Amino acid sequence: MRLCAVLALTIPFSVMQAWAVPGGNDGGAAFNLIHNGDFETASAESPPSGWTMWGAQRYKVPANYTRDETVAHRGNASFRLHHPADTAGYIVSSPEHAIRPKPDKVYKVSFYARSDRTGASSFRFTAYESIAPFIDGASPGRWPIDVTPAWQQFQFEIHEGWDFFADRSQYLLLTFYPTQDRKEACTLWVDDVVVTESESPREGRLMDTSRLTYEPLQHRLVEGPSLKIVVDTEKRIGPASRKVGAVSFHRVAGWTGHPYNKDGVYTLPPETEQAIREMRMPMTRFYAVGDEPFSLEESIDRAAEVCRRIGVPPDSCVLEFETQGARSKLTPDVWARGVAHAKTKGYSFCHWEISNEPYLMRPGTAFPTPDSYVKHVQAVSRAIRAVDPKAQIGIGIHKKSEKWGNYILKQTAGSYDFVAAHHYSFVRSIQTCSFEAATLAANYRALDTCLKVNALLRAYNPGREVVQIDTEWGMHCGGPNGERADYVDRNANIVGTVHRAVRLIYYAREGMLAGASAWQMLNRVGAQGFAVLGPTVPEQRFMLYWLYYYFNRHVGEWALDLEGTAPRYTPGEGDASGFKEGGFTGPQTPILATLSKEGDALFLVIANGSWSKAVPCRIEIRNFHVAQAEGILLSHGDPDGKPLLDRKEDLVSPLPASIDNGVLTCTIPPHSVTFLAVQE
């Protein structure tokens, strides 16, 4: 077990000396790596020396983070962290005093905490690969801490090579959240914070994904001033991944009260149901199927009915039974009962995802440690396969966490057939980030992560075909004042639309996933950040709707290779925080070319990830007699426009294209997605 939380009301004074703690591996002193962890340095500075306010600027209020001489576990003072209601501020140990981890070491954390109420706070490590500029690293861990008005000791430890890798998480900051409920007003006091370093007793290491060998992301175009390519219908990469153009539902009785309400009544307006059918979705997903007001069996029946109504075969629908946020779990026999019910009713459901994002560590989580999830997966997998040996069993992992990703994949190998890594793109400071970084670099980073996960799957599952089916993804950016992603329009307006188009192009062309179902189908008008359709406005469409509508009409059977040039985008200094200068470079105008099963239609999807630059386009088509071409353009001129459209024409328009002797020419406008259907 890598986590221990020890509660104690007293501790010998000598153990908590500010800079030297007896008990190192050599019998001497283990030095405290935290600056001013005892808060005994008298100062009027807020926060105290060695600590820094973090998060959205509006929540950085010095008066909320003070040295408190009226409350202390030991000595003369402690650190007071006040959380006003409806805020989201938190504190970290200062980056200038960051812990610099070393290979094969264990880092043990001890601190005392109390609160003005009994409730849940949280502690974590924030990690960075670099702090100038700040480049995110994988966090070694985060944990809920149950606090009371009495002082309690909490202890945690992380092992380099198991919980994180020192060369990728080079700067570690201790991070304290006074509460896990941003609506709550509360105060947390912290004192006697100690971090020590010693040799790890663990033998071996996880596979370091930075050292895995895998083929890099294939862009298939070299740099040039224009989009000038050759598409030969006889040069096929392989089958196109046609199951990536999907969107997930929330729940059977979802947060909007659709497609069913809590009474089990079907509530989708006919216009919305028809709109979903017209998306031609290749798959979908429901979660928390076993956490509805009606029985698990009734919930499965309702999911099957939705699939029937929208034209998605149940064998292309992923079902997850357990509660949203992984706050509780179902026993293996309940999972088996649900699978048996589906078989008895003749449904073709066969994809079963065990838990939704078990790594979230929310209050009351069913999985306080990775090992608790490992045990659950193994037991549920055995139970399901006893009922249906052909079942496809999926697990949820945190793609950038060694503990909740790498470790889970290793320990549960053999118990799963697919992985749902939820490849959201988290772009810091979306309001100031460049359009190019948000639509191109963010995707090239996420796609590289997809390939790394595939490399891990191969390494841990030799001789078995294990795939990724992503059951949630999209652009997931908070607002400048701490707004949740659901309420940030750029996640789903033209910025989010072009972002998703770039991802879909690579998903369909490069075959890195067996399927992908994005977040989310049904939304409220007041929360448009992931919006596709709104049942309260059945006659209107959100921008993302038209992306999927046209994408699924422009993906053929065969993915075709590309030869030629495209303008290249490379992140520059100041282009966007969170990206290394020169990193995650790729085409400004990625393109997907596919051929129909019959060979009589060629489809092209082109995204322009530049906000300001139109791109001349010349496509020479070989071994295909071009008779006509029809183009559709998605574009919108306001980066802060609402995702909900008053008129389809505000986003969608025809795109003129010329054909001459097998050569198609047009201009790809900036911030746009182009769909071209070429007929013989």
Over the stretch 593-603, which tens digit does the pLDDT of each residue have?
Answer: 999 999 999 99
User: According to CATH, where is 2.60.120.260 located in the chain?
Assistant: 13-199
pLDDT of residue 578: 63
Structure tokens at 80: 């007071």
Give Cβ neighbours of residue 211 (< 8 Å, ≥ 6 apart): none
φ/ψ of 469, rounded to 5, equals -125, 105
Domain 563-679 is found in CATH 2.60.40.1180:
yes
Report how far residue 408's alpha carbon sits from residue 399's, in angstroms, rounded to the nearest whole number: 10
The pLDDT assigned to 15 comes to 30
Q: Which residues pair with 53 in a beta bridge?
A: 91
Quick one: pLDDT at residue 534? Answer: 98
Q: Can you list the residues of the chain whose pLDDT is less than 50?
A: 1-28
The H-or-E segment that residue 422 falls in is none
For residue 193, give the nearest of 145, 159, 154, 160 by alpha carbon. 154
Give the pLDDT score at 575: 64
Neighbours of 210 (CB within 10 A): 9
Short-list 448, 525, 459, 528, CA closest to 487: 528
The amino acid that residue 313 corresponds to is: P
Enumerate the CATH 2.60.40.1180 domain ranges in the chain, comma separated: 563-679
User: DSSP letters of 40-61?
Assistant: -S----SSPTTEEEES-GGG--
Task: Name the helix (H) or strand (E) containing 299.
Answer: helix 296-310
CATH superfamily of 13-199: Galactose-binding domain-like (2.60.120.260)
pLDDT for res 20:
45
Q: What is the pLDDT of residue 6?
A: 34
Q: Tell me the two tokens of residue 214.
A: 């895998």
Q: What is the DSSP string of 343-407?
A: HHTT----EEEE-S-GGG--TT-S-SSHHHHHHHHHHHHHHHHHH-TT-EEEEE--TT-IIIIIH
Tell me the C-alpha distance between 633 and 619, whole Å.
17
Q: Give residue 326's pLDDT.
A: 84
Residue 661 CB contacts under 8 Å (≥ 6 apart), including other chains? none
- Cβ atoms of 202 and 161 within 8 Å: the answer is yes
Q: Which two tokens stand for residue 547?
A: 């992306």
- Kindly report, as residue ranges, where domains of CATH 3.20.20.80 are found in the chain: 240-555
pLDDT tens sequence across 416-470: 999 999 999 998 788 888 999 999 999 999 999 999 999 999 999 999 999 999 9
Q: How far apart are CA 59 and CA 133, in angstroms?
A: 22
Contacts of 103 (CB under 8 A, 6+ apart): 160, 161, 166
Buried b / exposed e over 559-581, threshold 16 CB at 10 Å, is bbbbebbbbbbbbeeeebebbee
Which CATH number describes the domain made up of 240-555?
Answer: 3.20.20.80
User: Of 398, 221, 238, whose CA–CA distance to 326 is shortest?
Assistant: 398
